[in-house]
Amino acid sequence: MTSEHPTVLVVGAGQSGFQAAASLRDKGFTGRVVLIGDEPGVPYQRPPLSKAYLSGTAGPDQLRLRPEEFFAGKDIELLAGRVAELDREGARVTMADGTTLGYDHLVLATGARNRPLPVPGADLGGVLALRTRDDADLLRSALETAEHVVVIGGGFIGLEFAAHAGRPVTIVEAQHRLLNRVASPEVSAYFAELHEQAGHTMLLGQGVTALRGQERVEAVELADGRRLPADLVVVAVGVLPETALAEAAGLLVDNGVVVDAHLRTGDPRIWAIGDCANFPCVHAGASTRLESVQNAVDQARSVAAGIAGEPAAYESVPWFWTDQLGKKLQIAGILSGADETVLTGDRAEGKFSVLSFRGGVLIAVESVNRPPDHIAARRLFAAGPAPTLDALRASGFDLKEHLKSLTAA
Ligand code: FAD
């Protein structure tokens, strides 16, 4: 390794790792780029796993982020295997098979893993989760024969699974509303109605105490003593950031690998991006770990620019989408600590947006089948200080109009 031909190792070949490697080349980086991943095949995207891939309308080719030739063409070395150890002093990693690789820059893009369900019976046959393509394949074939499907967790993954399972399921959620952590009460209620209309049974405010069965699951036991028959249980209770490497190497870890505004860890040669990174988010005004394609892609681009000699603080506007039952929900901003909401559009028509405010300032916009609102919201958040409730009221809560008034001013 020399500084004229630096080596970048990217650990994790998911959405953010792939993007970091590709963006390094886009930025003109001429050193060695090694993309190390422990899942089989070329890097792929996860969103279709709980949508078109689950329902069978998309195949494996549509998951791939790029065909195999892309990597050779860009001189990106794809290395299959798991990084077992990170030696910061020696600036090298050891793979599970014992081989070592040195680096000038290391990008941790290790993502997250599913949070286990801490109840007896969680290891029974027929109890599955959804994170990888292999998980999705197992679920697809389990759906062919299952009679009673119970989804534990009413967050995005649980609801998308239900929406694309192609049959009625029962959704058990410990909180008193769906999407409790990530959506406004208005949007939660709307999606609860949609799922009910689609024939799903919603059990809210219900803890699961045990999964029962011999070798395979037969029932889900609830805190109120009820037993739900089940031969397929999908556990969708969130994820935990994959931080073991960083932790063992003595990097600061706190709900993710802690990084600064440039996405660098305390070790200037090591960066962290995507689901595994806890970063100071200007839009949240707090340290935040986000689980979204936008965050994975934009953070990867930012780190690639930094390594290629164009450092800039990471300030991208957070956004997210989910597709369920004919509705696209798009969220711009960070919905945390909202104390006031305004609904615009036509809820009965299924085309509306919910504007959430904290202390009179707009913090997030959730749009259901209203892409123009979503785009306007992203532009507004990117344009500078977020608009106030009063300013938006003056524009009739029309985000596009408000944006126009800003650009005209
Ligand atoms: P990942 O994509 O998880 O990649 C991390 C990779 O690193 C994995 O392949 C992992 O195996 C590998 N790895 C970990 N440790 C090591 C190691 N030591 N050595 C080698 N490799 C290692 N987001 C949206 O915005 N919209 C959606 O609609 C949406 N839908 C989703 C649906 C599903 C089913 C899932 C699971 C996620 C969805 N997401 C969605 C979230 C989005 O996919 C993630 O935020 C994104 O994949 C994060 O990218 P990442 O690179 O940080 O992590």
Is 74 inside any structural domain? Answer: yes
250 and 151 in a common domain: no
- pLDDT for the residue numbered 4: 72
The 3-state DSSP class for residue 407 equals helix
Specify the CATH number for the domain of residue 83: 3.50.50.60
Is 122 inside any structural domain? Answer: no
Q: Determine the Cα–Cα distance for residues 1 and 3; give it in Å rounded to an integer.
A: 7
Is 300 inside any structural domain? Answer: yes
94 or 407: which carries more pLDDT confidence?
94
Work out how many domains the chain is built from and give that number. 3
265 and 201 in a common domain: no
Q: Determine the Cα–Cα distance for residues 392 and 75; give it in Å rounded to an integer.
A: 49
Instruction: Report whether pLDDT(300) > 80.
Output: yes
**CA 131–ligand 1 middle distance (angstroms):** 7
**CA 112–ligand 1 middle distance (angstroms):** 6
According to DSSP, residue 373 is labeled: H
Q: Angle at the Cα of 117 (from 171 to 136), degrees rounded to 5?
A: 65
- pLDDT for the residue numbered 409: 67
- pLDDT for the residue numbered 1: 47
How high is the mean pLDDT of the chain? Answer: 96
Give strand pairing partners of 106: 9, 270
**CA 293–ligand 1 middle distance (angstroms):** 8
* Residue from 82, 161, 275, 322 whose mutation best tests the ligand 1 pocket (most atoms within 8 A of CB): 275
Instruction: Report whether pLDDT(247) > 50.
Output: yes
Beta strand residue intervals within 273-368, DSSP E: 277-281, 286-288, 319-324, 327-333, 340-346, 351-358, 361-368
Is residue 39 within 8 A of residue 133, CB to CB? The reply is yes
Q: Which long-range contacts (CB under 8 A, 24 or more apart) does 91-96 make?
A: 91/1, 91/269, 93/9, 93/11, 93/36, 95/36
Q: Which of 154, 38, 171 is nearest to 95 (CA)?
A: 38
The 3-state DSSP class for residue 45 equals coil
- pLDDT for the residue numbered 3: 61
- Closest CA to ligand 1's atom 18: 83
Instruction: Report whether pLDDT(12) > 80.
Output: yes
* Res. 218 pLDDT band, cuts 50 70 90: very high
232 and 246 in a common domain: no
374: left (phi over 0), alpha (psi -120 to 50) or beta: alpha
**CA 158–ligand 1 middle distance (angstroms):** 16
248 and 232 in a common domain: no
Q: Which of 180, 200, 198 is nearest to 189 (CA)?
A: 180
313-337 pLDDT per residue, tens: 999 999 999 999 999 999 999 999 9
Is 0.85 topped by the overall pTM? yes
* Res. 393 pLDDT band, cuts 50 70 90: very high
246 and 201 in a common domain: no
74-129 pLDDT per residue, tens: 999 999 999 999 999 999 999 999 999 999 999 999 999 999 999 999 999 999 99
Q: What are the pocket residues of ligand 1 if the criterion is a CB atom closer than 6 Å to any ligand atom?
A: 11-17, 36-39, 46-47, 49-50, 82-83, 109-112, 130-131, 157, 242, 245, 274-276, 291-294, 296, 320-322
Atom of ligand 1 nearest to the CA of 49: 34
Specify the CATH number for the domain of residue 369: 3.30.390.30
The answer to whether the Cα torsion of 125, 129, 131, 135 is positive or negative is positive
244 and 219 in a common domain: no
* Residues in contact with 377: Cβ distance below 8 Å, sequence separation at least 6, in sequence order: 332, 333, 353, 365, 367, 399
Q: Give the mean pLDDT of 204-220.
A: 97
What percent of the chain is modeled with pLDDT above 70?
99
Q: Determine the Cα–Cα distance for residues 10 and 18; give it in Å rounded to an integer.
A: 8
Q: Give the domain extent around 93.
A: 7-113+240-307
**CA 45–ligand 1 middle distance (angstroms):** 8
- Closest CA to ligand 1's atom 15: 110
Q: Give the mean pLDDT of 29-55.
A: 97
Give strand pairing partners of 100: 94
Instruction: Report whether pLDDT(2) > 80.
Output: no
Q: Is 163 exposed, middle or buried (0-12, 13-18, 19+ CB in 10 A)?
A: buried
Is 2 inside any structural domain? Answer: no
**CA 46–ligand 1 middle distance (angstroms):** 6
